[in-house]
């Protein structure tokens, strides 16, 4: 990561942030949210406008052409998905937990380590033939992305790509996504 000096006028000069620099900002929090789990805290990335912008720029650069819809999953997928959608000139669809959307929805349930989770989108959020990009902060087990892919397919959309900031490859999430017809999965940072 390269940092520019502060200009004499007090205005910050341009900073150049690399993916390695972004990875260095992500902090491990042991035993959160429960013992034995190491949480990857991305808030230091968000606290640095140059780093946050570099992540969004990299996600946009990895997107195939012709994206109509960007889906971002609650909650941290919203953080990256909305600015990616704006940059691509695409609509943004917030994928919410069940019961959080006010109109008719379609839902998909997936397994968690201890229980299940249900995600929902409005029934008119994706149209038949829409080219869809899923954006999230992390690809861990693949459950959230798989459930979102299910929603995209059920509404007639075409899932063309998934882009995440981090992939926990040691959990083998891509295996869970093999049958989802995902053409492209991009992880900016991979933890083996």
- Active site positions, annotated: 76, 113
Distance (Å, rounded) from C-alpha 167 to C-alpha 174? 9
**CA angle 88-91-96, nearest 5°?**
120
H or E element, residue 161: strand 158-168
Distance (Å, rounded) from C-alpha 142 to C-alpha 125? 22
Contact 117, 110 (CB under 8 A): yes
Query: Per DSSP, what are the bridge partners of residue 69?
Result: 91, 132
């Amino acid at each position: 990561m390269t940092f520019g000096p502060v200009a004499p006028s007090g205005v910050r000069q341009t900073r150049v942030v690399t993916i390695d620099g972004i990875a260095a900002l992500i902090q491990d929090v042991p035993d959160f949210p429960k013992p034995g789990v190491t949480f990857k805290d991305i808030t230091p990335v968000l606290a640095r406008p140059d780093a946050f912008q570099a992540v969004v720029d990299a996600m946009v650069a990895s997107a195939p052409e012709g994206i109509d819809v960007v889906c971002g999953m609650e909650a941290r997928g919203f953080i990256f998905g909305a600015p990616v959608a704006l940059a691509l000139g695409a609509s943004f669809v917030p994928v919410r937990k069940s019961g959080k959307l006010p109109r008719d929805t379609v839902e998909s349930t997936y397994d968690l380590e201890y229980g299940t989770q249900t995600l929902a989108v409005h029934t008119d959020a994706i149209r038949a033939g829409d080219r869809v990009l899923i954006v999230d902060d992390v690809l861990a087990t693949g459950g959230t992305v798989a459930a979102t892919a299910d929603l995209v397919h059920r509404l007639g959309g075409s899932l063309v790509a998934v882009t995440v900031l981090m992939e926990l490859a040691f959990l083998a999430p891509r295996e869970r996504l093999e049958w989802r017809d995902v053409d492209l999965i991009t992880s900016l940072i991979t933890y083996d």
